[in-house]
């Protein structure tokens, strides 16, 4: 059972705050119906909701727990993405967090390079009172063209951590197996192949990516 409680006002698509309940257990979530998606010329295939699920699947495969659990499911406005709500610590300064060396932010930076995130704004970082940081809003990821657009450039050209290298090596294997199959339910074959290639390039260089000169490397607005 999914019930709509309200609309998130600064959202660009239909982004709804909801509760889900089963067997007496309930949780808050975000629900973005596919029907509410604004068509984007540069993402002609699949759905934004499917890309959000794809980002969750990659996050899950890293073991880093960076994207709140996200599924495709039916709701009052049809099929959409449904993502667990994260209680944000409102006292955290997002500008400072986005420039910090918080380990979760650095891991998000690696995740974004893998999923080719075109929209890592400050408002898409969710800090919790336990000191964790989650990332949300992954509708414009997995393009076959390089589109990495993020605020998090503090590690540009810096060697990846040993932990990140381990994770990328595991991802590489997993993308040829179960993860690749799960992603294919939401992305085109080309998009999955490009994801493999981005992982390979990261492992080859051993470095965090540099901002491109060919496209805007910072999202607008940045927060």
Which residues contribute to the site for ligand ADP (CB under 6 A)? 8, 10-13, 15, 30, 68, 83, 85-86, 88, 123-124, 126, 136-137, 139
Query: CB of 16 within 8 A of CB of 58?
Result: no
Expressed in angstroms, the distance from the first to the final Cα of the chain is 33
Minimum CB distance to ligand ADP, residue 182 (Å): 20
Q: Which does 126 bind (CB under 5 to 8 A by kind): ligand ADP, Mg ion, none?
A: ligand ADP
Tell me: does residue 52 bind Mg ion (CB under 5 A).
Answer: no
Minimum CB distance to ligand ADP, residue 69 (Å): 9
> Which of 5, 56, 9 minimizes the C-alpha distance to 31?
5
Minimum CB distance to ligand ADP, residue 200 (Å): 29
Nearer to ligand ADP, 85 or 153 (CB): 85
Nearer to ligand ADP, 126 or 164 (CB): 126
Strand order in the sheet with 25-33: 2-7, 16-22, 25-33, 80-84, 70-73
Residue nearest to Mg ion (CB): 137
Among 37, 112, 137, 191, binds Mg ion (CB under 5 A): 137
Nearer to ligand ADP, 120 or 198 (CB): 120
Q: Which does 83 bind (CB under 5 to 8 A by kind): Mg ion, ligand ADP, none?
A: ligand ADP
Q: Which does 184 bind (CB under 5 to 8 A by kind): ligand ADP, Mg ion, none?
A: none
79 burial class (0-12, 13-18, 19+ CB within 10 angstroms)?
Answer: middle
Q: Which does 77 bind (CB under 5 to 8 A by kind): Mg ion, ligand ADP, none?
A: none
Q: Which residues make Cβ contacts (< 8 Å) with residue 116, sequence separation at least 6?
A: 141, 142, 143, 146, 147, 148, 194, 195, 198
Distance (Å, whole) CA 66 – CA 127: 11
39 burial class (0-12, 13-18, 19+ CB within 10 angstroms)?
Answer: exposed
Distance (Å, whole) CA 210 – CA 217: 9
Name the residues that contact Mg ion, by CB under 5 A.
137
């Amino acid at each position: 059972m999914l019930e709509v409680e309200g609309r998130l006002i600064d959202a660009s698509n239909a982004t709804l705050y909801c509760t889900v309940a089963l067997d007496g257990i309930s949780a808050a979530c975000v629900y973005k119906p596919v029907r509410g998606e604004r068509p984007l010329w540069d993402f002609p295939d699949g759905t934004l909701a499917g890309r959000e699920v794809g980002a969750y699947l990659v996050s899950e495969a890293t073991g880093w727990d960076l994207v709140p659990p996200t599924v495709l499911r039916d709701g009052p406005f049809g099929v959409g993405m449904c993502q667990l709500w994260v209680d944000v610590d409102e006292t955290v300064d997002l500008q400072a967090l986005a420039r910090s060396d918080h380990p979760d932010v650095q891991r998000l930076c690696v995740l974004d390079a893998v999923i080719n995130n075109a929209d890592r704004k400050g408002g898409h970082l969710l800090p919790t009172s336990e000191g964790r940081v989650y990332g949300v809003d992954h509708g414009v990821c997995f393009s076959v063209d390089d589109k990495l657009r993020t605020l998090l450039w503090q590690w540009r050209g810096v060697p990846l951590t040993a932990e990140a290298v381990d994770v990328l090596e595991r991802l590489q294997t997993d993308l040829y197996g179960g993860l690749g199959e799960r992603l294919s339910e939401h992305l085109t074959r080309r998009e999955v192949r490009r994801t493999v290639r981005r992982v390979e390039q990261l492992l080859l260089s051993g470095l965090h990516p540099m901002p491109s000169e060919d496209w805007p490397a910072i999202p607008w607005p940045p927060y």
